[in-house]
Structure 1
Amino acid sequence: MILFNWFKKDKKNYPEFWQEYLACFESRSDKNYQKRYVVFDTETTGLDVRSDVILSVGAIAISGNSIIVNDYLEVFVQQDVFKTESVSIHGILKDGKEKKLTETQAIIRFLDFVKDSTLVGHHVRFDVNMVNAALQRMGLGKLKNHNMDTDIMYQKFKGLPEDQHSSLDELCQIFKIQKSDRHTAAGDAFITALIFLRLKNK
């Protein structure tokens, strides 16, 4: 993959999309600003952040206590790295019918969508690290967004020890949430958004 010489200390030397992303985190003077959450999920070739890559990203926005169904993102990434064994999990074929973007194009779309929103996910650190690895390949810094993990939220809600984790399937069962489009990035993002709202309101 081509590496871009964008890693400069002077912000003026960053690409425009990265400058616009960083500008979102400058001090906000609008007191009526309502916090926006973006619940997201990635499907990947595997679980090794060093060698695996993103295949798709699904994200949906939450404002207040509502999922904004028309404020969503779903992108698929060209598979320069293809692992047959992972297809049975995510169902994404190398030459599937989905329109695929380059990794760089997909990350630019993601940054433009999330802006300064708080990122939410189930075991969100993995997804954040996968995006950060892609940003590193582009010669850029890491995500600046705050993030929240529905697994950790559930631990705190139930008073569970930090090493007692719950899967997304387990939380769906606990909160009686239908598992539609499970193991797709967009489907898992929507399921996680429903769980997040349940936990947020408690």
Structure 2
Amino acid sequence: MKLFNWFSEEKKDYPEFWLTYIEGFKSKFNEDIKNTRFIAFDTETTGFDFNEDRVLSIGAVSFIDKKIEVNKSLEIYIQQDVFNPETVKIHGLLKNSKVEKLSELEALKAFLAYIKNDVLVAHHANFDRKMIDKMLERHGLGKLRNKFIDTGHLYKKSVHQIYKDDDLPYSLDELAKELNVPLVDRHTATGDALITALVFLKTLARLDKRKHLNWGYLLPK
């Protein structure tokens, strides 16, 4: 059934950037963790309602073998059809700010071109994934295909705490404090993506010492 759905999706009249994105998942998954490109990313949103709220900005940083490619980071600000002044205190973006903003569709193109088929890392990853999926849905596209790692869930595993679906994972601030990660540019998408990357790498170092650095441990079941 999955093969049929994949074939059917390719036959639809999708834009080239989406076809290029899904084409990347036909290649074999890289089993070598040290040579895997990870993407830590974060979204700043107008709120927490997947249907009503919108993504204001997306920040992402990539890293391979513990080396963060800061000069290759991604920072996207998205045009908003409706300006809600109540959200200014949350995201710090003003309606008439001079920062360059992309349409939602152009933002998706840039984001997918950046992440390719690489492994995504986020804190409260389910929220960020659903917000991006809703953006894709509004433009008649499918869902993200990438593998996801949630830093909160992974940290709990690293300290042998059982995670349940109804548990609240650690906040990013709590994890940064636990792992001595500086809170630089907190509550900006790119700043939070960088903090998430550092939290993830420090957790990986802990797992490596315990011989738990493998995909079976990293990826949710």
Establish whether TM, by shorter chain, passes 0.5.
Answer: yes
Q: What TM-score does the superposition give when structure 2 sets the normalisation length? A: 0.83
- Please name the residue that 1:19 is paired with: 19
The alignment yields a C-alpha RMSD, in angstroms, of 1.9
Shift of 1:180: 1.1
Structure 2: 5+ residue stretches without partners: 1-7, 207-221
Greater CA drift, 53-62 or 24-33: 24-33
189, 192, 198: which is aligned to 1:194?
198
> How many angstroms does 1:12 deviate by?
5.9
Name the amino acid aligned to 1:157. S
Q: Secondary structure at the match of 1:70?
A: helix
Deviations 1:16-42 (A, max 9, x none): 000100111112499989311000000
Structure 1 counterpart of 2:42? 41
**Is the helix fraction higher in 1 or 2?**
2
Other structure's SS at 2:130 match = helix
Segments of structure 1 that go 5 or more residues without pairing to the other structure are 1-7
Q: In the alignment, what sits opposite 2:72?
A: 71
CA gap 1:31/1:83 in 2 versus in 1, 3 angstroms: closer
Residues 20 and 177 of structure 1: CA distance in aligned 2, closer, same or farther (over 3 Å): same
Shift in Å at residue 100 of structure 1? Answer: 0.3
CA distance in 2, matches of 1:58, 1:117: 16
Whose strand fraction is larger, Structure 1's or Structure 2's?
1
CA contact (8 A) 1:37 1:63 kept: yes
Q: Distance in 1 between matches of 2:106 and 2:89?
A: 26
Alignment partner of 1:165 is 2:166: no
8 A Cα contact 1:76 1:99, kept in partner: yes
State TM-score, norm by structure 1: 0.91
User: Would the aligned equivalents of 2:47 and 2:53 in 1 still touch at CA under 8 Å?
Assistant: yes
Alpha-carbon distance in 2 for matches of 1:160, 1:122: 17
